[in-house]
Structure formats: C-alpha cells, structure tokens
Structure 1
C-alpha cells in the first residue's frame, strides 16, 4: 500500500536544498535484508544497472556522535541510484533540464522493525514516466 508524506532530501539520498519533499512509500512485509534484495532484483530485472548503493543509514549512525546527536534515525537505510536510458531520453527530450532528476533513486529504510520502500513523487508532466518506472520497481519488490 502506498502512502504520501514529506521526507527530507537527505532521506532520499539527494543533494537538495533543506526543503520538504513528497515521497511515495510502500510498506514491506519482511526484513530489511529481504527488501534490499527485492529492490535490487527488481531494478536489475528491468535491465537497469545500479550505479551506486548508498549505505545512508550506516553513515548517519557512524557520524551521529560526531555531529552531537543522540538520535538514532534508522536501524538500516540504503539508497539505490540508477538510470534508464529509454526513460531518461524521453523526459530529457521533453525538457533537457529534467537532467536535474537523474539518477533516479529508491530507498529502503528500517525504523524499529518497520521496513519501508520509497521514492520521490515527481512533478506532473514528463517526469511521471520516471515515477511510473519507480512505482513498478517498488511494487515488484514488495510482491517478491
């Protein structure tokens, strides 16, 4: 089931101004490890290549005390970055400045045993092609 809420760009692994941004979230009925495997499998099964896997939760935990915080944000959180040549070409032919959205990302987060898969909610228009692709990947992962 998907929910929409605001999440900070950091949670999505993006370099963005400190403003709230909508995300589309999917509850995952299983472990974090199973969810990350399912997301990775769903991305690869679409013929896409994962450019980078960011271990965002590990970084946040590792640096927590260094930045003077005692707040544990996630038990685990990873972000998968990838692109689609076909979809990217479509959205950038519509507007070359859609490059700002590339690469695309899907995250998996575990907070107190609740595992969530999510991605950005993109603006209306051509970027809905990207949102559809990410939704297909997330849906395939939660049904894995």
Structure 2
C-alpha cells in the first residue's frame, strides 16, 4: 500500500523521481463534482474503483509533522482501478507491465483550479493503458 501511495503522490506532484510525463485536463467545476465525474467515467467503462487515496488530506494532515506549512493542494484524490482485459493484454506482451497496475486518475484542487489527470505511460504495448486513462480523464473533464 505504501508503494501505491508513493506512486500516487508522485503522479500528483509531477514526480521528479520519474521521468514520466503527467497529463492533465482542467475541470470547470468544483472538486467534488470532478471526483464524481471521474468515478462515473471509470464505472461507465465497466470498471471498478478499487481504492480512492485521499492524498490531499494526508498532505494537509501531516505537513506540520514534517516541518512544513506549505499547502500543496486544497484537495487531492487518486482513483485506483484496473482493467482485466487491458491489463492481461499488456502483461501478456511484457509481464513487467505489472509495474503500472493499478492505474490511477487523480483530481486536484489548488486555489480553485481543479484538474483531472494521470501519469503518462511509456511506449508500446502499455500505450493501450494510456488510451484508456486518457479517454476516462477526457470524459470526466468534459472534453
């Protein structure tokens, strides 16, 4: 679970630990509306949200404990899920693609600017996962 949380934090923060790109789309509405939209888009693909990581709550709760008074996000959640069909396909092509599972789509709110995004995937065959993530993120963002 700790590794998942660290990966989620890296995805939200733009992750200097990874050379991977983060793809974001602005959301015209509240954080709550965006999280509802993301969950609905995931479910609309016939998928199940396995876990919602409340990264923003954790960062806000622990800031003082780690000697920081910086508010990174007003709110931030990461929705973790998987697709049996897509996961099987990309892992049959290369079993090391397990490193990308579960997939995550995040919602952030920083000073009223709400965004929906995900961590970009490396080259083929995992690009099928990126297509899935991009479709869900765009649908949730109304694009």
TM, length-normalised to structure 2: 0.89
CA distance in 2, matches of 1:9, 1:140: 21
Deviations 1:32-90 (A, max 9, x none): 00000000000001110111000000000000000000100000000000000000011
Instruction: List gaps (5 residues or longer) in structure 1.
Output: 1-7
Q: Deviations over 1:72-130 (max 9, x none)?
A: 00000000000000000110011011001000000000000000000011011111100
Higher strand share: 1
TM-score normalised to the size of structure 1?
0.88
What is the distance in 2 between the residues matched to 1:95 and 1:19? 20
Whole-Å separation in 2 of the counterparts to 1:11 and 1:27 = 19
Report if the CA contact (8 A) 2:31-2:109 is conserved.
Answer: yes
Partner of 1:42: 41
Shift >2 Å, 4+ stretches: 16-21
Could you say what the CA RMSD is over the residues aligned between the two structures, in angstroms?
Answer: 2.0
Unaligned stretches of 5+ in structure 2?
Answer: 1-6
Higher helix share: 2
Count of residue pairs the alignment pairs up: 136
* 2:94 aligned partner: 95
